[in-house]
């Protein structure tokens, strides 16, 4: 028998995060390209991102055909489009001046899956790319990461929005993530919980 699910936040009732969700609006358009394996993942942060910033758009897929609708949307938009992905060609978001609202594309998945998304979609490689200068460790302790500069998609979105919109308060995003992390850790057996403290 499946666990009862909260109809609002779609997390299990025992792990409901509704009390920790504070909605916010941003000028930056956030679009997530999500690897299919992330959709049902209980620890995925994109679900939280959508709850806090309701205008967040999520496209699930792997190959170019999966993103036809997204590509049409981008072609019709007059806003500059940036891919959030660190590379030798990417620019530090802090070094770029933004005079108008922009669209940010995030690749949601493990580093390996994000790289695969990029390789399967050459159209993404033609976009100007941005990266973050990571100073503090991620608070997303409940999933293993292969790189020291790993951030959850929600954390990356929060930091990007703050860099592009300096006066925008992003604490609702980080508070929601902290609530999920703390809830997950508190539900672990003591022997497992010690690994995350």
Report how far residue 13's alpha carbon sits from residue 10's, in angstroms, rounded to the nearest whole number. 8
| Mean pLDDT of the 37-53 span | 85
Q: If you average pLDDT over every residue of the chain, what do you get?
A: 86
**From its phi and psi, is residue 135 left (phi > 0), alpha (psi between -120 and 50) or beta?**
alpha
Q: Look at residue 17 and give its three-state secondary structure.
A: coil
Report how far residue 176's alpha carbon sits from residue 197's, in angstroms, rounded to the nearest whole number. 19
User: Tokens in use for 37?
Assistant: 């394996």
Has residue 14 been placed in a domain?
Answer: no
Has residue 92 been placed in a domain?
Answer: yes
Q: Give yes or no for residue 188 having a pLDDT over 70.
A: no
| Mean pLDDT of the 38-58 span | 88
Has residue 96 been placed in a domain?
Answer: yes
Has residue 19 been placed in a domain?
Answer: no
Number of domain units in the chain: 1
Question: pLDDT-based confidence at 186, cuts 50/70/90?
Answer: low
Q: Among residues 48, 67, 85, which one has the least CA distance to residue 160? A: 85
Q: Among residues 132, 41, 135, 122, which one has the least CA distance to residue 91? A: 132
User: What is the CATH classification number for the domain harbouring 180?
Assistant: 3.40.1280
Has residue 197 been placed in a domain?
Answer: no
118-165 per-position pLDDT tens digit: 999 999 999 999 999 866 444 434 344 444 446 889 999 999 999 999
69-102 per-position pLDDT tens digit: 999 999 999 999 999 999 999 999 999 999 899 9
Look at residue 81 in the predicted model and tell me its pLDDT: 98
Has residue 6 been placed in a domain?
Answer: no
Look at residue 148 in the predicted model and tell me its pLDDT: 42
Out of 36-45, 80-89, 108-117, pick the least confident.
36-45
Out of 3-7, 148-152, 184-188, 191-195, pick the least confident.
191-195
What residue numbers bound the domain in which 69 lies? Answer: 27-38+45-187
């Amino acid at each position: 028998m499946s666990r009862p699910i909260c109809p609002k936040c779609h997390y299990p009732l025992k792990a409901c995060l509704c009390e920790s969700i504070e909605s916010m609006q941003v000028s930056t358009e956030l679009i997530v390209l999500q690897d299919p394996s992330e959709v049902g993942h209980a620890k995925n942060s994109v679900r939280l991102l959508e709850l806090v910033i309701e205008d967040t758009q999520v496209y699930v897929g792997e190959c170019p055909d999966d993103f036809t609708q997204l590509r049409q949307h981008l072609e019709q938009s007059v806003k500059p489009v940036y891919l959030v992905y660190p590379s030798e060609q990417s620019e530090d978001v802090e070094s770029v001046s933004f005079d108008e609202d922009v669209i940010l594309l995030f690749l949601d998945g493990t580093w390996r899956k994000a790289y695969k998304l990029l390789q399967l979609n050459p159209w993404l490689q033609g976009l100007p790319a941005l990266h973050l200068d990571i100073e503090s460790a991620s608070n997303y302790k409940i999933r293993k990461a292969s790189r020291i500069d790993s951030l959850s998609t929600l954390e990356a979105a929060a930091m990007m929005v703050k860099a592009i919109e300096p006066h925008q308060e992003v604490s609702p995003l980080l508070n929601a993530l902290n609530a999920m992390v703390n809830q997950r850790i508190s539900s672990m057996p003591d022997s497992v919980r010690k690994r995350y403290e």
